[in-house]
Amino acid sequence: MEKEAGKTKYYIAVGVAGLIIGLTVGWFLSKEGVKTTDIHWKFGENELSINMEQDLADAQTLLDKIFSEDFSRQGTLEWLKLNQNLYNPTDPEIVPKISSLKYDDLVSKELRNLSLSREGPWAYQLDTVRIGIPPSELQPRKGYANVCENGKYFTQKLRVLSLDLVQSVEVSATGRYECPKKLKYPDIQLNAEDAARLLGTVNFSKYEQGMALILSPR
């Protein structure tokens, strides 16, 4: 599979290189007053037609044309990556490049700032959750919570908030319970004192809704 993907990337890059050469030749011919025809870039069943008069009016028009189709857009991005070391920020292959940055590089500094301010890929993610209070003999201690043993909250430090985001408690999700797929269950079980502080009451029969935020993502 990886070998075939490598071949595909190679052929795309070659195709883009051919398109660039064709455009360059066409541009010089048009400047010399030679009548030119459209340039056709073919890749498999796809084809991009470049009109030498309209699409070469200026750089922006040409780029808009090249990026107007998914296959030519992807091909161009692949060519830029392979030949100019320019990466789309959503390309996973940019990660090794980032990991090779030195500590004092400007990009490194900006990435650390994003991390500290919890922006971009480090942004907090709030989930709507069902909050329950188990029987007293199964309740976690104050400051702790029970969660699904196979869920994402287990072993995490959490901030649990009311739906209006006014009240909150921080708990360590160290307790666990089974969560069968076909049954409904609370996402988080709190100590009665924590639940009262968060929701203003402990008088609910099954569960109440709130928000949860992972403070220590794995």
pLDDT band at 215 (very low <50, low <70, confident <90, very high): confident
Q: Which of 12, 61, 64, 8 is CA-nearest to residue 41?
A: 12
Instruction: Summarize pLDDT for 4-27 with one digit per residue, the tens.
Output: 444 445 444 444 555 554 555 454
CA–CA–CA angle 154, 157, 159 (5° rounding):
110
* CATH code of domain 122-214: 2.40.40
Domain-wise residue ranges, the chain: 2-103, 122-214
DSSP string for residues in 109-161: HHHHHHHHTT-GGG---EEEEEEE---GGGPPPTTEEEEETTSTTTT-EEEEE
Write down the pTM of the prediction. 0.52
DSSP helix/strand/coil, 62? helix
Tokens 């209070």 -> residue: 133
Percentage, residues of the chain above pLDDT 90: 34
Q: Is the model more confident about 32 or about 66?
A: 66
